Chain A
Amino acid sequence: MARLIRMDQTGHTTVAEWRADDPGAVEAAVAAFREELDAGYYAVVSTGEGHAEQVRELPPDAELVILRRPIAGG
């Protein structure tokens, strides 16, 4: 089961779960994904050890998509 999670004050919240072969679940996950991006989150997918990639569309075949807030110099 693939997951879309958002890092927040609770540690993290599972925003959506889906299986690539379940179009309804994918559609719901895409909608939730859009909503989070509109709220200012960035979506990141791990692409191997020490590598990550920002995604602007939900990759249905990804195991885990993480939503993070922007960073800034302190």
Chain B
Amino acid sequence: MGAGVLPETAAVYWRPRVDAARLRRRGWTWTGTTVAHTVPFLGTATLLMALEPLSFPVAAIAVVHAWGIPALYAARGAGVVRERPRADAGPERTALGLLGDLVGHEARELHARTGLILERGALGVWLVGEAGALLVRPGGRRVDCWCVKADAAELPSADRIAHLLLALREDEAGFATVANLAFSGAPWRLRRRLPAVRRAALDAARAESGPGRQARVRRSRP
């Protein structure tokens, strides 16, 4: 990725710049928050059943809440890479040509199948979409969903991706600083909420970032 600082970080000057350690802490915080939301409902259900088995319906509702809250978080994360409305065929084709010039054959092929561009970075393996990106961390056991988009809604889909891809390549940490974190958690949790066509991209990114493949995750330039 580039050695410069993304100029857009000036608009979010109050945010500390993201790095691997900060990202890890945010992941733990996210998991802790999810647990804090879930455990009280499970505890309530257990207590109700222990005190009065006839309260089963209420206990069941509590369990549904405990299951539903993480699922809603994951759905929000999946939303960052949902498909957006397309522009006319001509501009889309032109934009796709430029995007194709920016990436290699593998990434082009994955984009054709899934609509996402795979990009290796220092923080992990990225999947860049039209209005957001997924970051599969080294090891492939956690994925972060980032909501971020180009400041121009009229752009063709491939151009919106190219905007994010170029910004990511300029300054990966700055990109993650500017973007809003929508979800951080286990890939399986996110995968269930992704449209079927996007799941292959997540699988590919996990394969790239899994054990034994971490050497391929690119180091930042000094």
Known: A68-B150, A71-B149. A12 touches B164 (CB 8 A): no
Q: Known contacts A9-B155, A12-B159, A74-B131: does B97 contact A69 (CB below 8 Å)?
A: no
Is the Cβ of A70 less than 8 Å from the Cβ of B148? no
- Beyond A11-B92, A53-B3, whether A71 also contacts B150 by CB under 8 A is yes
CB distance from A24 to the nearest CB of B (A): 27
User: What B residues does A71 contact at CB under 8 A?
Assistant: 8, 148-151, 163-164, 167, 175, 178
Contact with A along B154-174 (1 / 0, CB 8 A): 111011001110110110000
A36 to B66 CA separation, bound complex (whole angstroms): 52
Q: Once the chains bind, are B170 and A54 in contact (CB under 8 Å)?
A: yes
Q: How many A-B residue pairs have CB under 8 A?
A: 116
Check if B162 sits within 8 Å of A74, measured CB to CB: no
Chain A contact-residue range equals 20 to 34
Contact B148 A72 (CB under 8 A): yes
Q: Please name all residues of chain B whose beta carbon is closer than 8 Å to the beta carbon of A72 when the two chains form the complex.
A: 8, 11, 148-149, 151, 178
Chain A residues, CB < 8 A from B147: 73-74
Residue B4 lies at the interface, judged by CB distance under 8 Å to chain A:
yes
Q: Which of A58-74 contact B (CB under 8 A)?
A: 66, 68-74
Q: Which of A26-52 contact B (CB under 8 A)?
A: 42, 44, 46-47, 49-52
Contacts of A47 in B (CB 8 A): 2
Q: Is the CB of A68 within 8 A of B166?
A: yes
B64 interfacial contact with A, CB 8 Å: no
Say whether, besides A9-B87, A12-B159, A52-B169, A74 and B180 are in contact (CB < 8 Å): yes
> Which B residues form the contact surface with A (CB < 8 A)?
1-4, 6-8, 11-12, 80, 87, 90-98, 102, 104, 119-121, 131-132, 146-152, 154-156, 158-159, 162-164, 166-167, 169-170, 175, 178-180, 218, 221
